[in-house]
Each structure stands twice: as C-alpha cells, then as structure tokens.
Amino acid sequence: MLRLCFTIALTAVLAVGCARKEEGRPSAYAMPFSKLAASLENRGFHPILDARYENGGWQILARRGTELVTVRTNASVGHLGAIRRATPGEPRPEPAPEARRLSEIAASVEAAGYAPILEAEFEEDGWEIEALARVEVDLDQAGNIVEIELDVDDDPDREVAEP
C-alpha cells in the first residue's frame, strides 16, 4: 500500500512538473508546429496569419472561408479547442494567394534546425518566425530566408546572419 501511494504521489509530481515546463514552450513530445499548421490548413483554416504558443497551447489567427477566426489548440496532438470570430480591428496583411502555406514554410525552418517554433506572424513583406533558441527568422512570401537574427536582448553585439 505504501508503494502504491508513493507511485501515485511521484506520478502527480511529474505531471505537475511537465505541465509547468510546457507553459513556456512545447514539450519534446508535442507535435511540431509545421504538422499542426498543416492539420489546421487541411481543416479549412487558411491562410494562418499569426500563431503563438502560450499557456500550454497554441493561439492561432486564421481565415476560415471569408471569416477571420481565432483558434486554441492542444500543443501535444493538435486537438481543436475554442474557435471564435476574431475581434475586428485594423486590416491585417495577408499572404498572396499563390504564396506557400505556413505549414510548408515552418517545415523548412524546422528542417534547418530552428525548432521548436514558438511564434509565426505574417507581416507586410513576409513571415517572422521565432524559435526556442530565441532566433527570429524572416522569410519572404515565397518562404525564402531573408534574415536570421539571434534575439539576445542583453547582448549589445547582437549577431545577424544573412543567408
């Protein structure tokens, strides 16, 4: 009986520890962002305009048909949570219809070693993607890397790499 209680207590401690670790970044077992984005795109959420990992899940802004919606997803397996109409605001820039999908661009960023992805945002001239290593990768609409910037706030000699 004592062994069973110890096992249950240890399991609970590990579960709490994993949950806390997951709050700031996806766990090592979470679905890669590129696969999550592909799953959403295949369900009709396209284009994805903004995605941020926060509080153990993804907050995603995308179009579904003509409507702009926000989607909450589970980080581990991509289960959809709340889907809500986005709050109207200033018009947002959107990728050209012929531009590569975010899932394809994210897959190329992950394959280049910049993973896990924590944020992706479409801006006027292309994508800005932030990865765990606090690296910002700027891409044009075709998905070509334009600039890689190490995001080290306390380093006045911030390194910038040109592809």
56 sits in the region (left: phi over 0; alpha: psi -120 to 50; else beta) called: left
Q: For 2-11, 99-108, 131-140, which range has the lowest pLDDT when averaged over its residues?
A: 2-11
Q: Provide the terminal-to-terminal Cα distance of the chain, rounded to the nearest Å.
A: 61
Output the average pLDDT for the chain. 76
pLDDT value of residue 76: 66
pLDDT value of residue 112: 85
Specify the pTM. 0.70
Q: For 29-33, 91-95, 153-157, which range has the lowest pLDDT when averaged over its residues?
A: 153-157
pLDDT over threshold 70, residue 131: yes
pLDDT value of residue 152: 52
The predicted-structure confidence for 79-120, as pLDDT tens digits, reads as follows 777 788 888 777 889 999 899 999 999 999 998 888 899 999
Helix or strand run (H / E) with residue 9: helix 2-24
104 sits in the region (left: phi over 0; alpha: psi -120 to 50; else beta) called: alpha
From residue 49, alpha-carbon distances to 26, 35, 91 in Å are 20, 16, 12
